[in-house]
């Protein structure tokens, strides 16, 4: 299933592995807000292969309206974006009743403590520093969308039923600083 949103000309939609599964399993819808084309395409590819429907937006402007229209299960948000910073987008998402409880994973090349602290104050659900491993981003997305904890077949092997983020396959911590 491809998602089409009228009025968002910078959105790229992706058909996913779930399209091939038909009605089997659940498919998480992820809104990826990332301005670097190589990174957004890599994440889109990784998550699509993992059974997610991925909508890509390349700037912060319009992100809240896009989240309302797309109704994602998770927002993956870059910290540094044109038009509106990731922190501004996060604050706007948390201020809207429709999106205040939406899980948000922030990605950044700036892994400094003050960036993490600012994101946590703004209400981020998870913080991940670039570069990251494919396994770590897949594991975080599975947990944040509830597929790992529910043992979703689309989540692949290793559904541990854990409720916290714990550690990714590479051993890197998926929670806290």
Q: How confident is the model at residue 53, as a pLDDT?
A: 97
Does residue 9 or residue 57 have the better pLDDT?
Answer: 57
* Pair 84, 40: CB distance under 8 Å: no
pLDDT of amino acid 148:
74
The tens digit of pLDDT for each residue in 86-124 reads 999 999 999 999 999 999 999 988 778 898 999 999 999
Determine the Cα–Cα distance for residues 154 and 147; give it in Å rounded to an integer: 8
CA-nearest of 79, 87, 60, 73 to 26 is 73
Q: Which CATH class is domain 12-155?
A: alpha beta
Segment 124-131 mean pLDDT = 93
Q: What is the value of pTM for the model shown?
A: 0.74
Q: Domain boundaries in the chain?
A: 12-155
Residue for token digits 């922030």?
106
């Amino acid at each position: 299933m491809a998602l089409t949103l009228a009025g968002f000309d910078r959105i790229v939609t992706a058909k996913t592995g779930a399209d091939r599964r038909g009605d089997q399993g659940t498919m998480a819808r992820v809104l990826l807000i990332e301005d670097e084309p190589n990174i957004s395409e890599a994440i889109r590819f990784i998550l699509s292969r993992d059974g997610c429907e991925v909508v890509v937006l390349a700037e912060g402007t319009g992100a809240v309206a896009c989240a309302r229209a797309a109704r994602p299960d998770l927002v993956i948000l870059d910290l540094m974006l044109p038009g509106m910073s990731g922190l501004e987008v996060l604050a706007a998402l948390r201020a809207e009743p429709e999106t205040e409880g939406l899980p948000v994973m922030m990605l950044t090349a700036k892994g400094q403590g003050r960036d993490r602290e600012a994101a946590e104050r703004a209400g981020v659900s998870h913080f991940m520093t670039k570069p990251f491993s494919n396994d770590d981003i897949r594991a975080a997305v599975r947990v944040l969308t509830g597929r790992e904890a529910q043992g979703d077949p689309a989540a692949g092997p290793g559904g541990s039923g854990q409720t916290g983020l714990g550690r990714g396959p590479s051993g890197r911590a998926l929670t806290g600083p």
